[in-house]
């Protein structure tokens, strides 16, 4: 089946941190595009490849058999912002603007459209490139689920699945050894992974960036559980969580990254404070990049395929400067500018927060 389209050559890239479902989107874009006689060029390593002119044509064989594979066949990077390009000389980092080179490559490859798959960083860059004249269609990706314009990003469900499985495993060892088990999960400044994973995995305490916690409330909860005969507790901490009187716990700062802050360490701190202040034996686990690797869940495979096929459909229709988005059960599109105007954060009255609270989960504060 083929349809006449003015769009003849489409570029596709994956930007920022990877997540399960990227390959399913690439397949969802490429298969129908080829069917319509459109050539697809896979740009390598995100915007880095656009600036440095690294791309390869994609054929059916390249996107066959990749629905269930994790990672991205195109490679990705969270350091290749064309407008904020880090150049290192003599150990010093200088930030330069290489967006003109990106545009030059887009024109040299004679692209009619560029499909940019990524999170908020990628969408910010996409907006600026589309202001320079590129025809961009965005696809929202991130395990963090922090893009306001879509009900869900692909990758989130897979990350929540990993957290849930980890919590199930921690439960059995926590209960055997009568310990407090703290698990630190990803999510950056949003608590969606901790909230949804914590709820699905039956955490006793969930700590979110959006609800600064009180140390005493945490100690009281684990001690109260012990006194009730529940001789173990599970604490699910978002990497961006902080106490009311504290600040974000950072692992490193890297000026080459689109977001220089690398979060990490709050899990260890929470475990230490619980142990010091309650005397209960405590261990911590940092789940890290396990949340980003591996095969996408069925939900993410379906969402990614829908996103990919809708993205190429938008390109064929010439609807540029837009991002595909899940709204209820339907895939719609929104202007990229609207997609980046606000970050989606957990509200204290979110139904998942209220449900967790109703079944006795503590958010580390005496009263929600």
* Active site (annotated) includes residue 338: no
Residues between 106 and 145 with contacts to ligand F6P, criterion CB under 6 A: 119, 142-144
Among 24, 102, 238, 263, binds ligand F6P (CB under 6 A): 263
End-to-end CA distance of the chain: 56
Q: Identify whether the C-beta of residue 33 lies closer than 8 Å to the C-beta of residue 44.
A: no
Check residue 188 for interaction with ligand F6P (CB under 6 A): yes
From the candidates 18, 45, 81, 144, give the one annotated as an active-site residue: 144
Among 127, 292, 306, 322, binds ligand F6P (CB under 6 A): 292
Of residues 188 and 306, the one with the C-beta less far from ligand F6P: 188
Rounded Cα distance, 348 and 363, in Å:
10
206 bridge partner residues: 236
Map residues 9-48 to x or -, x wherever contact with ligand F6P holds by CB under 6 A: --------x-------------------------------
What letter would DSSP give residue 37? T
The distance of closest approach from Cβ of residue 94 to ligand F6P in the complex, given in angstroms and rounded to an integer, is 21
Number of residues in contact with ligand F6P, rule: CB under 6 A? 13
Which of the stretches 89-97, 180-188, 295-303, 320-328 binds ligand F6P when contact is defined by CB under 6 A?
A: 180-188
The distance of closest approach from Cβ of residue 1 to ligand F6P in the complex, given in angstroms and rounded to an integer, is 37
Task: Please list, in sequence order, all residues whose beta carbon lies within 8 angstroms of the beta carbon of residue 208, skipping any fewer than 6 positions away.
Answer: 191, 194, 195, 238, 241, 346, 363
Rounded Cα distance, 69 and 61, in Å:
15
Among 70, 187, 197, 296, binds ligand F6P (CB under 6 A): 187
* Helices within the chain (DSSP H only): 22-35, 47-52, 60-63, 99-108, 120-131, 156-177, 192-200, 215-227, 266-278, 298-316, 336-339, 351-358
How far CA 265 is from CA of 56, 112, 182, 272, in Å, comes to 40, 45, 11, 11
The distance of closest approach from Cβ of residue 292 to ligand F6P in the complex, given in angstroms and rounded to an integer, is 5
Check residue 344 for interaction with ligand F6P (CB under 6 A): no
Q: Identify whether the C-beta of residue 342 lies closer than 8 Å to the C-beta of residue 166.
A: no
Residues in contact with ligand F6P by the rule CB under 6 A: 17, 78, 119, 142-144, 186-188, 239, 262-263, 292
Catalytic residues: 144
């Amino acid at each position: 089946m083929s349809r006449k389209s003015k769009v003849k050559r489409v570029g596709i890239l994956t930007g920022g941190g990877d997540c399960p479902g990227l390959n399913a989107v690439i397949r969802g874009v490429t298969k129908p595009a080829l069917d319509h006689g459109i050539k697809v060029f896979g740009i390598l390593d995100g915007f880095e490849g656009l600036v440095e002119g690294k791309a390869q044509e994609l054929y059916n064989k390249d996107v066959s058999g990749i629905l269930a594979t994790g990672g991205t066949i195109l490679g990705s990077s969270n350091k290749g912002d064309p407008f904020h390009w880090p150049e290192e000389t003599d150990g010093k980092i200088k930030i330069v603007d290489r967006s003109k080179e990106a545009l030059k490559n887009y024109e040299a490859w004679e692209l009619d459209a560029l499909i940019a798959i990524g999170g908020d960083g990628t969408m910010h860059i996409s907006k600026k490139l589309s202001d320079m004249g590129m025809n961009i269609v965005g696809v929202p990706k991130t395990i963090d689920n922090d893009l306001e314009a879509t009900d869900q990003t692909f990758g989130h469900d897979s990350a929540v699945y990993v957290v849930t499985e980890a919590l199930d495993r921690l439960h059995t060892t926590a209960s055997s050894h009568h310990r407090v088990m703290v698990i630190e999960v990803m999510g950056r400044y949003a608590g969606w992974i901790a909230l949804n994973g914590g709820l699905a995995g039956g955490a006793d305490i969930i700590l979110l960036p959006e609800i600064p916690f009180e140390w005493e409330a945490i100690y009281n909860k684990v001690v109260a559980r012990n006194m009730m005969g529940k001789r173990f507790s599970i604490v699910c901490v978002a990497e961006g969580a902080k106490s009311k009187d504290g600040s974000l716990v950072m692992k490193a700062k890297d000026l080459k990254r689109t977001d220089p802050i690398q979060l990490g360490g709050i899990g260890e701190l929470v475990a230490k404070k619980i142990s010091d202040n309650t005397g209960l034996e405590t261990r911590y686990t940092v789940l890290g990049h396990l949340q980003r690797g591996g095969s996408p869940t069925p939900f993410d495979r379906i969402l990614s395929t829908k996103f990919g096929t809708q993205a190429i459909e938008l390109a064929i229709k010439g609807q540029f400067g837009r991002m595909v988005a899940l709204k209820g059960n339907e895939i719609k599109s929104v202007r990229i500018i609207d997609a980046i105007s606000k970050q989606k954060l957990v509200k204290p009255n979110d139904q998942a927060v209220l449900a967790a609270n109703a079944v006795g989960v503590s958010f580390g504060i005496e009263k929600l």
